[in-house]
Structure 1
Amino acid sequence: MTPALGIRNLYVRYGRTDVVQDVSISVEQGESYALVGESGSGKSTILRAAVGMVSDWRGEIEIDGTPRSSMAQADFARHCQMVFQDPYGSLHPRRTVDATLSEPLKIHNIGDRDHRVVEMMRSVGLNPRYRFRFPHQLSGGQRQRVAIARALMLDPKLLLLDEPTSALDVSVQAEILNLLVRLREERGLTYVFVTHALPVVSFLCDRLGVLHKGQLVEEAGVDKLRAGAFDEPYARELFAASLGAGDRVRHAV
């Protein structure tokens, strides 16, 4: 089966520095794959390269077997969407929930918009009575539900999730993580999940790749994570550092 996301020998440069160096990963259809590592390790940069938000990269990126560089933006949007970290900054402050969710449908000339918007709001656990509210009238968790709904409006099968719960308090994190688990099962989604919280990976993902200073130093199944049985010293250090900090998330979910 063709991987949902294939990355080979990826380098990404900011200025004169390669912040991602020779990274290769393959994410299977329906899989949930995490990229983990400390801040500055290159996790989010890989996602940004995949969606076209950075220009200075070399290597190969394929979405469902098609080179990213040869995909029209409209085709890419139907295959892959990204959910960002900050629910306060990712939504336009002067657009209602309805306008935000309707926009992808308008751009792609998809009809039956009222029904689709209401059904998607229900799908992400957001009461339709919030449909004509602005972002400042919503909580952080509600905003992130809107962001997830927006990403799903074109029915993509691949979601890139850039620390989508890190800006939320712990109880709301648990709600969003449970929502993501349910949506993946219901819609047959593939996730590439960027985080520094290993307990979140243990709950949500099947495999993980450990990044250190822009390089992929280890890949492992989530069973290896749960056992703390990493091969690389840096991965073991990351696991040890996460033990105390992760208890709150583990208990919440």
Structure 2
Amino acid sequence: MSAISLRDVGIAYNGVPVVHDVSFDVAEGESFALVGESGSGKSTVLKAITGLAPEWTGSIGILGAPVSHQPDRTLARTVQMVFQDPYGSLHPRKTVDAVLTEALAIHGIGDRDARVEAVLRDVGLDRRFRFRYPHQLSGGQRQRVAIARALILEPRVLLLDEPTSALDVSVQAEILNLLKRLRTEHGLTYLLVTHNLPVVSFMCDRMAVMNRGRVVEIAPAAALHDGSFSDPYSKGLYAASGGAHPEPEDRR
């Protein structure tokens, strides 16, 4: 059974089609990327899965269950999303504790103190951070809180929308290493949106390349090392990025 399955999915905003006939499967435990230029429809696919882009056709399934066109409380126990901007995704007037316990209260889950402290440890934050506000945290710490919020309901699938692009380069590697460890420890499935091919090489098993709202190729992450893409757009994207590990200018 696939963890995520899309079949002939088309997505529109206010009646204007932006994603066309997208189909792919993500196996349980796999890390799968959607790559492409800005505006290619990558984040829109994640929004459709979570009910944030309700104008879609085709079929979307999570762990064998069909996804509805609106946010679904039952689905929230299975799939959670980590957004791109850690500064905009946390309420500025709520403490870390309030952010994390809110989901537990909505779903009627008890043992909140133990769960909050456990999930903070999971993301590398000690209990001192529990009653701080977002403005008292660095960008990397905020993104750790956002990841903790996604994990607090113990989902099996995480949707990651450019989770490091808003962070300093020095912090990006820390968050990527954290996500890689969490996937192993919790048996998570990842669907990652990014335009950064080295991130795909480090984090993912396979990728779907998107161009103008369509999937033009599905390829293994190994293609980022040997350039074995078949679609002309994929080849151009690979060449423009310098591959998964661009060489210094003096070696090209």
Q: TM-score range by the shorter chain?
A: over 0.9
CA contact (8 A) 2:201 2:244 kept: no
Instruction: Please state how far the C-alpha of 1:227 moved relative to its aligned partner.
Output: 1.1
The equivalences for 1:85-234 within 5 A come to 85-234=84-233
SS at match of 1:4: strand
Deviates more, 1:106-115 or 1:11-20: 11-20
CA distance in 1, matches of 2:244, 2:135: 30
CA distance in 1, matches of 2:32, 2:117: 30
CA contact (8 A) 1:210 1:218 kept: yes
Instruction: Please state how far the C-alpha of 1:245 moved relative to its aligned partner.
Output: 9.3
Instruction: Please state how far the C-alpha of 1:163 moved relative to its aligned partner.
Output: 0.2
Question: Hey, which bits of structure 1, 4+ residues long, moved more than 6 A?
Answer: none
What are the superposed Cα offsets for residues 125-165 of structure 1, whole Å, 9 maximum, x if unpaired? 01210110000000000000000000000100000000000
Instruction: Please state how far the C-alpha of 1:17 moved relative to its aligned partner.
Output: 2.8
Scaled by the length of structure 2, what TM-score is found?
A: 0.95
- What is the letter of the counterpart of residue 186 of structure 2? R
- What is the letter of the counterpart of residue 65 of structure 1? G
CA distance in 2, matches of 1:246, 1:36: 16
SS at match of 1:155: coil
CA distance in 1, matches of 2:68, 2:136: 39
What are the superposed Cα offsets for residues 149-192 of structure 1, whole Å, 9 maximum, x if unpaired? 00000100000000000000111000000000000000000000
Task: Provide the residue aligned with 2:49 in structure 1.
Answer: 50
User: Structure 1 residues 64 and 245, CA, compared in 2 at 3 Å: closer, same or farther?
Assistant: closer
Instruction: Please state how far the C-alpha of 1:247 moved relative to its aligned partner.
Output: 5.0
CA distance in 2, matches of 1:72, 1:46: 14
Structure 2 residue ranges without an equivalent (≥5): 248-252
Instruction: Please state how far the C-alpha of 1:71 moved relative to its aligned partner.
Output: 9.1
CA distance in 1, matches of 2:89, 2:132: 16
SS at match of 1:69: coil
CA contact (8 A) 1:34 1:201 kept: yes
- What is the letter of the counterpart of residue 196 of structure 1? H
CA distance in 1, matches of 2:210, 2:69: 27
SS at match of 2:105: helix
Scaled by the length of structure 1, what TM-score is found?
A: 0.94
CA distance in 1, matches of 2:191, 2:206: 10
- What is the letter of the counterpart of residue 24 of structure 1? S
Instruction: Please state how far the C-alpha of 1:30 moved relative to its aligned partner.
Output: 0.2
More helix per residue:
1
Task: Provide the residue aligned with 1:251 in structure 2.
Answer: none
Q: Is residue 25 from structure 1 mapped to residue 24 from structure 2 by the alignment?
A: yes
CA contact (8 A) 1:197 1:246 kept: no
CA distance in 1, matches of 2:41, 2:90: 24
What are the superposed Cα offsets for residues 99-119 of structure 1, whole Å, 9 maximum, x if unpaired? 001111111111111111011
User: Structure 1 residues 72 and 137, CA, compared in 2 at 3 Å: closer, same or farther?
Assistant: closer
CA contact (8 A) 1:199 1:242 kept: no
CA distance in 1, matches of 2:137, 2:202: 27
- State, as a whole percentage, how many aligned pairs show the same letter: 62
Task: Provide the residue aligned with 2:72 in structure 1.
Answer: 73
CA contact (8 A) 2:157 2:188 kept: yes
Task: Provide the residue aligned with 2:250 in structure 1.
Answer: none
What are the superposed Cα offsets for residues 13-57 of structure 1, whole Å, 9 maximum, x if unpaired? 123431100000100000000000000000000000000001211
Q: Is residue 11 from structure 1 mapped to residue 10 from structure 2 by the alignment?
A: yes
Task: State the number of aligned residues.
Answer: 247
